[in-house]
A and B are shown apart, each in its own frame.
Chain A
Amino acid sequence: MTARSAPAERIRQALLNGRRRPRQPGGSPTARRGDGYEFVELRAYVAGDDVRRIDWAASARSCEVQTRVILEDISLTLGAMLDDTPSMRVGRKRSLAAAAREAVELWYAIAAADDRCVRLIGNALHPVNAYRGASSAAAALNATGTFDLRSSLQLARTALRPGAALVLASDCFDLKDEDDMTLFALARRHDCTLLLARDPWYDELPLSGVVKLRGAEGGVLRAYVGAPERERYWKAVRSRESALLRRFTAAGWRTGLLHESDGAASLAGAFGA
């Protein structure tokens, strides 16, 4: 296994910690208590041991309280939904899609040898075979296909092993109101993280006078943009961003902002790493 960078290591630890401490009642780690633990040995009980780990049969045989020492299963399933639709291919100096890819690269960089990396693109998981470790990370990263947010969310709900770590890097323009139930269901089943693409012109709309806007997904808008329009834009972008973050947070997702300048740092920021 290659050495992970400090942010990757911190993200991995955060994910493992999250498995032990569900972030909301009924979260996946608690629901599947006991899964993924490997027995190592028995030893004499010492104060502070979890009483649930006491092996009563072994204690009876040895007339001494014995504790089962177990090895925690630290393998992860790292799922990523990388929105590379045309709306993400805009930006001030570089595209948001490039920043999102950087974030997903870091996401897969946290993978250990036994971890499985998958990309959710449309209706399929990539890679489809059971690669693990770096090979699965490379295959997932290089997977191609047409991304569709809503299909990918549904896929994550049905196809990913419970307890998987899932990251979504998107501008969420395709998210509908009725998707809230899916977001809730995903957060109950997985450790979910949203990297919401911050509008490249969040700070200031650099338009003045008669301008032409070319839609990333097609279409052209010619309009006059003055101070009132810039003010309305400023408010609308902030309002949209905070509303989306509130929605995901309420659904149980970890949230962060994907900045055009540095996708990896954005992911690390979402984990406080």
Chain B
Amino acid sequence: MSFAHPLRFAFAVVAAILFAVVYARLVRRKTAHDLAYSNLAFFADAVKPRTWIPRALSVSAVAAIVALAFAAGEPRMTAPVPVRDGSVFICIDTSGSMAAGDVAPTRAAAALAAARAFIEESSPGTRIGIIAFSSGASMIQPLSSDHSQVEAALAAVPSPSGATAIGDALRLAAASFPSGGHRLVILVTDGVSNVGVDPEHVAEWLGTQKIPVYTIGIGTPNGGEIPGSSDEATIDEGALQSYANVSGGAYARAQNATQLHDALARLGRVTAFERKRVDVTGAFTLGGVVLLVGVFLAGFGLGRFA
């Protein structure tokens, strides 16, 4: 936390301490509202009064003063705030290996279902685009904040076939992003990049542009047989982790449809917020005032000696 006006905050702290001293003296001062009682020990033992309430009020009063002292310094803090200008590209692998059935019903179908979950969990204003890639990369859905339209576009993702051009997909996403805002790429793939540009270089460039790449590797440890061929669908976890690391994103492994769904849904929620420096003066002011009014009403306004 930092303060826009540290000097003002320092003055406020001094004022708060002075107030606390005066308040403590006022509390101890003999007033007409005090009840002079013959034997406090008897009273406390017989009545068992709720002494925690005045203590809580005192703590609240101190908290209120502290909050107002903070507010005087106009504090700024880094906090998660809802993304308002977010842009997300979901790059879905449609290479031939995505037809493997080790992730039920197939890796491709599971990936589409998970992408749907991500879209549903995303905050309403986030613009989402779909890129499908195999031997090349194609834009299925440009960035759009109409999530129903994006979900509908998933139907246009082609069936699995061909090679894996991860680099091309990342480059197409990089080229299609707006120049500013909260941007990120979600890469759902099961294989090794084997055609096109070097994905590592593109991921690095994306990292310099503060566009993290979240990679999700699909497939079981034993891999899966690609239907119609004798090849095994393998996964290059090291490469996927590297793309995530150099760009500032994260990698997750999904060995079944549920894990994949959960991973993307979680990403949808996480990417709905971003950490920003925000001015929290209003919150501190409001909190301090509410506490002070509450303390006043409960401690002075409601207590009476008839």
Binding site for B on A (CB under 8 A): 86-90, 96, 171, 173, 199, 206-217, 219-226, 229, 232-233, 236-237, 240
Contact = CB atoms under 8 A, between A and B. Distances in A.
Contacts of B48: 229, 232
B35 A211 contact: yes
A224 B52 CA distance: 8
Given A208-B304, A210-B54, A210-B299, A215 B40 contact: yes
Contact of B28 (A86, A87, A216, A220): A220
A233 B40 contact: no
Contacts of A226: 50
A219 B47 contact: no
A219 B36 CA distance: 10
Contacts of B302: 208-210
Contacts, number: 112
A137 to B, nearest CB: 28
Main DSSP-derived SS at the A contact region: mixed
18 contacts: A86-B38, A89-B36, A90-B36, A90-B38, A206-B35, A210-B299, A211-B303, A212-B31, A213-B36, A214-B36, A216-B39, A217-B38, A221-B37, A222-B54, A224-B50, A224-B54, A229-B49, A236-B42
Given A173-B39, A211-B303, 13 more contacts: A86-B38, A206-B305, A207-B304, A213-B34, A213-B40, A216-B36, A221-B43, A221-B44, A223-B47, A223-B51, A224-B51, A229-B47, A232-B46
Nearest to A95: B36
A237 B53 CA distance: 24
Nearest to B30: A214
B50 A222 contact: no
A237 B40 CA distance: 13
B1 interface: no
Contacts of B47: 223, 225, 229, 232-233, 236
B33 interface: yes
Contact of A213 (B28, B37, B46, B50): B37
Contacts of A217: 38-40
B18 interface: no
B38 A222 contact: no
B175 interface: no
Instruction: Please provide the 6 A-B residue pairs with the shortest distance between their CB atoms, ordered closest to farther.
Output: A236-B46, A223-B49, A209-B303, A224-B53, A215-B40, A210-B303
A103 to B, nearest CB: 17
Given A210-B57, A210-B298, A224-B49, A216 B38 contact: yes
Nearest to B38: A87
Interface in B284-306: 298-300, 302-306
Nearest to B44: A221
Nearest to B39: A173
B64 to A, nearest CB: 16
A213 B54 CA distance: 12
B155 interface: no
Contacts of B27: 212, 222
Nearest to B58: A222
Contacts of B298: 209-210
A254 to B, nearest CB: 24
Contact of B51 (A88, A199, A207, A222): A222
A221 B155 CA distance: 73
A81 B304 CA distance: 36
A5 to B, nearest CB: 30
Interface string B44-81: 10111111011001000000000000000000000000
A206 B49 contact: no
B48 to A, nearest CB: 6
A96 B38 CA distance: 10
B38 A213 contact: no
B274 to A, nearest CB: 44
A226 to B, nearest CB: 8
Contact of B40 (A88, A221, A232): A221
Contact of A212 (B34, B39, B306): B34
Contacts of B57: 210
A155 to B, nearest CB: 24
Nearest to A223: B49
A153 B305 CA distance: 37
A236 B221 CA distance: 75
The winner among A87, A171, A223, A233 for most chain B CB atoms within 10 A is A223
B49 A225 contact: yes
A87 B40 CA distance: 10
A213 B33 CA distance: 9
A41 to B, nearest CB: 56
B34 A223 contact: no
Nearest to B52: A224
Contact of B38 (A171, A208, A212): A171
A223 B42 contact: no
The winner among A87, A88, A96 for most chain B CB atoms within 10 A is A87
A226 B43 CA distance: 14
Contacts of A171: 38-39
